Structures are given as structure tokens and as C-alpha cells.
């Protein structure tokens, strides 16, 4: 009877603990929340996210964590399957926190977009050195993934313009890192795709803004001449911007730009106005006319010159979108949000896109440019190709040159329907990835990745990344970066 009584007592106690566990949990969270009131302001601002991570720990750390932002909201064409099975940490941080004119630094939250940031800074006379083109690209995505712009031949990738990050780590702590403070973490964060911690703020360099970009358009014919001209202009520091659009294997327009406050009124082109021609079509006119040209584009129009046509992707969605009648009547309605396209995309359409559509950015050494364009032509045959140069410093982390010195690289962007006969997505892309590895290049991680785990870590340097994951006990908190970006993890 005594044993039975004790069993019933134990059973009842367990039942009470289970049934009313919310009382204990809420009490703990209440006192935790009250305690956070006495913490520094930076910690208080992000207390909600600290509490979510601590709750995950209290639950037994049974699942990996990821941000709770829906996959369809990201700019990547794919949606991560892992969102459905991981613990979603809701991080709704979308404010510009501080503009420090003395330090020439802007402090922002991770969901601040490029469109939002330029709209905030330009009226104050500032901009950031690298402004990736599309309006909806976020600071967090550009740090945890990567970002590039036609000014990157001077400033490097987006990550190289950042001076500090603030992260919530797997243990629920808030940490600031910079080149002089927690430097290993600072250099390991870019390209890690949120697998070392949750980014909650970043500090980015600012530079003085000017009213216009003076653009020089130059058509070039012959692949060798295209590569020589593009390399030559990319090495000139007096060029604030360098960009190339390759319209066929033998035809391209190379554009260079400088910042200026003065402009010839007759040559001002407000290319961002809704009724204007799509930028890549406008550039093509110089090629067809076989003439050079000079224009003055308002700075913010230039920074987002590819937004209205989503580079040239919109021509596959709205084939008549560049027609003057459509532009004047309905141009204000475009572009459709990439997130909306993903949200309304069915599985059948998604599979068709995978088999008949390519969206890839490959970063290769400038010395391999000619061979790379030839490889893109054979394996994909997608035009236009986007060329964007960038300097890659020899910093620690996943992406750096093979040698000890900084090296000039180029981003080759292929967006559209491959014209190669018998194109097969997996086989063709694996061939491309193999080539990029062979020249010590890198694949942007937003795109479809068909590499095996071994091939992935052959392309990227994982030494610092894996060391930190071990040190910071990330292995139970976050998946490895490969498991978030490989083709099997997305649909």
C-alpha cells in the first residue's frame, strides 16, 4: 500500500508538472525578462531574441535553430526545406539604428534593405561603398551570404565594407565582433549563412555621396578584346564603377563611371523612372549603333539600375515589358516582388524553372575571365552575362585568394534560359562547378548548388569556420552551412 501510495503520489506530481508546466516556464521567462531591464541598452534591444534562444535551451536543444523569416521572402529563387523542421527564431529587425558622421559608419539591423538604406543615407549626403543592385537585398543576406557592386574593384565584396557585427550566439549571449574584437568570429561570419549565430546588427562604412554617376559606354567586339578592356578598366582606381554586359560570345559593352556633382543637363538620364527603357536594353543600343556614349545618371537611379527588370529576368516573365506602351501605362507596377513570385509558384512551375532556367553567380580570378566566358558559353549559352570586378583581400574566412596577396576577381552572372542544346540542369551545373573549383573560384550560395560536401569544402576554406563551430558549441544549435545551401535542402 505504501508503494502504491507513493506511485500515485509520483504520478499525480508528474501530471501536475506536465499539465501546469506553463506556470513554471512563464515565471522563469518573467524573471529573465525583468533581469534584462538592468542590462546595457544594446542587450535590452535584442532581449526578445536572447530569450528565444534561451527558451530553446530550456526545451532541451533538441532541434537546430534558424531564423523564422519565411523562405519565400528571401531573394534566392529556392525555398529552404529546413524551415519546417528547425526551431524558428523570429528576428524582425529592420531599422537603421545610427548614422555616425564622425566615424563614417552606419549601424543597421539585418533586415534593412538596400533600397531602404540608400533612401535613408542619400539625402544626408552619404552612401555605402558597395550597394548591390536589387532594392530588396537585405544587409543580413549580404553578410551571411555575399554581395557585390560595380564599385567592388575598389572596396571588395559587401562584407569587406563592414566594420563590426553583433550576434546572438548558441548560448544565448550577445557578442560584438570586429577586426580587433573577437576577430576570428568577424572573419568567419560572411558566407556562413547563419550557422554561427543570429546577426542582429552590423556597422558599415559610409562614403560621401554625390548627385550623379558619369557613365561612359564602350562597345567592344572580340572575346579577347572584351577581356583585355574589362581587365584594364577594372585595374584603374580612378574608375568609381566598372561593369560589363556581354551580349554574345563576341560582343559586349564595358561601362565605367565616376562620381560627380556636376552634369550636362542634356545628358542626364533618370533611368530609374518607371517609363524608362530597361537598363540592359538601353545599354544594348550602344552596341547596335556601334558607338560610345556618356550619360549622367542620378546616383540612386544608378545604384538600383537593374531593379526594374530584375537584371533581365523580367523579359522571361513579361516578354512585352519593355514595350514603350506597356512602360508608360503599366511600368509603375513592375517589378513584381521576387518574394511574391515565389509565394505563388507551384511545384510544377518550380521544377520547370529548375530544368529550363539558370540563376548563377560564379566568382573567378580575373586572369581566368576569357576561359570562364568560353565555359559559360559551352555549358549554358545564356546571354547577357553580367561582369562585375572585385578585389578579394587575403583575409581569413571561407573565401580568399589562393596566394598571400589580394587578387582581382570577377563575378560572372548568368540569369535566364540556357540556349545550349540538350541542357540538363544537374549535369551542366556540376560541370560548371568543377570548372570554377579548378580555377580557385567560388559559387554564390543563394544559387542552386549541386556539389557534394567534399567538393563544397574543396571550393571553400572551412578551417576557421569548423574551428569556431567546435569552440562555440554550434554543432547542436545550427546545421553546417552545406546542409542549408545544397540542392537537397531546397525546393
Give me the pLDDT at residue 342, please.
57
DSSP state of 416: E
**What spatial distance separates the first Cα and last Cα of the chain, rounded to whole Å?**
60
Cα separation, 376 vs 450, whole angstroms:
16
Helix axes 369-379, 223-234, angle to 10 degrees: 130
Which positions ≥6 away from 429 have C-beta within 8 Å?
Answer: 358, 360, 448, 450
Give me the pLDDT at residue 6, please.
44
Query: In this structure, what C-alpha cell is assigned to residue 130?
Result: 558597395
Per DSSP, helices labelled H in 314-366 are: 314-317, 324-330, 338-343, 347-356
Which positions ≥6 away from 258 have C-beta within 8 Å?
Answer: 213, 214, 238, 239, 240, 241
Cα separation, 413 vs 420, whole angstroms:
17
Looking at the domain that runs over 89-208, which CATH code has it been given?
A: 3.30.465.10
Give me the pLDDT at residue 44, please.
52
If you search the block for the grid coordinates 533581469, which residue do you land on?
A: 35
Give me the pLDDT at residue 27, please.
44
Query: In this structure, what C-alpha cell is assigned to residue 139?
Result: 544587409
Q: pTM above the 0.85 mark?
A: yes
Cα separation, 49 vs 45, whole angstroms:
9
The closest alpha carbon to 153, from 73, 72, 256, 298, belongs to 256
Under DSSP, is residue 85 helix (H, G, I), strand (E, B) or coil?
A: coil
**pLDDT (tens digit, 9 = 90+) per residue, 148-196?**
999 999 999 999 999 999 999 999 899 999 999 999 999 999 999 999 9
How do 162-168 and 198-205 pair as beta strands?
A: antiparallel
**pLDDT (tens digit, 9 = 90+) per residue, 321-369?**
899 998 999 888 887 766 666 566 666 666 766 777 899 999 999 999 9
Burial (0-12, 13-18, 19+ Cβ within 10 Å), 339: middle
Give me the pLDDT at residue 356, please.
77
Length of the chain: 491
pLDDT < 70 regions, the chain: 1-45, 71-73, 75-79, 337-350, 352-353, 489-491
How do 87-89 and 65-67 pair as beta strands?
A: parallel
Per DSSP, helices labelled H in 73-162 are: 114-121, 139-144, 152-155
Which positions ≥6 away from 287 have C-beta within 8 Å?
Answer: 219, 247, 251, 252, 253
Under DSSP, is residue 296 helix (H, G, I), strand (E, B) or coil?
A: strand
Cα separation, 104 vs 439, whole angstroms:
37
SS3 content of the chain, % helix, strand, coil (to 5): 40, 20, 35
The Cα angle at residue 96 between residues 305 and 126, in degrees rounded to 5 = 55
Give me the pLDDT at residue 490, please.
64
When computed from its CA atoms, the radius of gyration of the chain, rounded to whole angstroms, is 25
What dihedral angle (degrees, nearest 10) is formed by the CA atoms of 73, 78, 84, 85?
-130
Cα separation, 192 vs 482, whole angstroms:
9
Cis peptide upstream of residue 135 (ω within 30 degrees of 0): no
The segment(s) of the chain belonging to CATH 3.30.465.10 are 89-208
If you search the block for the grid coordinates 589562393, which residue do you land on?
A: 402
Amino acid at each position: 500500500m505504501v508503494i502504491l501510495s507513493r506511485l500515485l503520489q509520483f504520478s499525480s506530481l508528474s501530471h501536475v508538472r506536465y499539465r501546469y508546466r506553463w506556470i513554471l516556464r512563464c515565471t522563469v521567462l518573467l524573471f529573465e525578462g525583468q533581469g534584462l531591464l538592468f542590462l546595457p541598452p544594446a542587450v535590452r534591444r535584442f532581449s526578445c531574441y536572447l530569450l528565444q534562444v534561451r527558451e530553446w535551451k530550456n526545451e532541451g536543444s533538441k532541434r537546430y535553430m534558424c531564423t523564422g523569416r519565411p523562405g519565400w521572402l528571401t531573394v534566392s529563387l529556392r525555398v529552404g526545406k529546413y524551415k519546417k523542421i528547425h526551431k524558428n527564431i523570429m528576428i524582425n529587425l529592420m531599422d537603421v539604428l545610427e548614422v555616425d558622421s564622425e566615424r563614417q559608419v552606419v549601424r543597421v539591423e539585418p533586415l534593412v534593405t538596400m533600397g531602404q538604406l540608400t533612401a535613408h543615407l542619400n539625402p544626408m549626403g552619404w552612401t555605402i561603398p558597395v550597394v548591390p543592385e536589387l532594392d530588396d537585398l537585405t544587409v543580413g543576406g549580404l553578410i551571411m551570404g555575399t554581395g557585390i557592386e560595380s564599385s567592388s574593384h575598389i572596396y571588395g565584396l559587401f562584407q569587406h565594407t563592414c566594420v563590426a557585427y553583433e550576434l546572438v550566439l548558441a548560448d544565448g549571449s550577445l557578442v560584438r565582433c570586429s577586426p580587433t574584437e573577437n576577430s576570428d568570429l568577424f572573419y568567419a561570419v560572411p558566407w556562413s549563412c547563419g550557422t554561427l549565430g543570429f546577426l542582429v546588427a552590423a556597422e558599415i562604412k559610409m562614403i560621401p555621396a554625390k548627385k550623379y554617376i558619369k557613365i561612359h559606354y564602350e562597345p567592344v567586339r572580340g572575346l579577347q578584346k572584351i577581356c583585355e578592356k574589362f581587365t584594364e578598366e577594372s585595374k584603374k582606381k580612378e574608375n568609381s564603377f566598372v561593369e560589363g554586359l556581354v551580349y554574345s560570345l563576341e560582343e559586349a559593352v564595358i561601362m565605367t563611371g565616376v562620381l560627380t556633382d556636376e552634369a550636362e543637363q542634356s545628358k542626364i538620364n533618370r533611368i530609374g523612372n518607371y517609363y524608362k527603357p530597361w537598363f540592359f536594353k538601353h545599354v544594348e543600343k550602344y552596341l547596335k549603333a556601334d558607338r560610345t556614349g556618356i550619360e549622367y545618371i542620378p546616383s540612386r537611379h544608378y545604384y538600383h539600375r537593374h531593379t526594374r527588370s530584375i537584371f533581365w529576368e523580367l523579359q522571361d516573365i513579361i516578354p512585352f515589358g519593355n514595350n514603350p506602351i506597356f512602360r508608360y501605362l503599366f511600368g509603375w507596377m513592375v517589378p513584381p516582388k521576387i518574394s511574391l513570385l515565389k509565394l505563388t509558384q507551384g511545384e510544377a512551375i518550380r521544377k520547370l524553372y529548375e530544368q529550363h532556367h539558370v540563376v548563377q553567380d560564379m566568382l573567378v580570378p580575373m586572369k581566368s575571365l576569357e576561359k570562364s566566358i568560353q565555359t559559360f558559353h559551352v555549358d549554358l549559352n545564356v546571354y547577357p552575362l553580367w561582369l562585375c570586378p572585385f578585389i578579394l583581400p587575403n583575409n581569413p574566412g571561407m573565401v580568399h585568394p589562393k596566394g598571400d596577396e589580394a587578387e582581382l576577381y570577377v563575378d560572372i552572372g548568368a540569369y535566364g534560359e540556357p540556349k545550349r542544346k540538350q541542357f540538363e540542369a544537374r549535369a551542366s551545373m556540376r560541370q560548371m562547378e568543377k570548372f570554377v573549383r579548378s580555377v580557385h573560384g567560388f559559387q554564390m550560395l543563394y544559387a542552386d548548388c549541386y556539389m557534394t560536401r567534399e567538393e563544397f569544402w574543396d571550393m571553400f576554406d572551412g578551417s576557421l569556420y569548423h574551428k569556431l563551430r567546435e569552440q562555440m558549441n554550434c554543432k547542436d544549435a545550427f546545421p553546417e552551412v552545406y546542409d542549408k545551401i545544397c540542392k537537397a535542402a531546397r525546393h
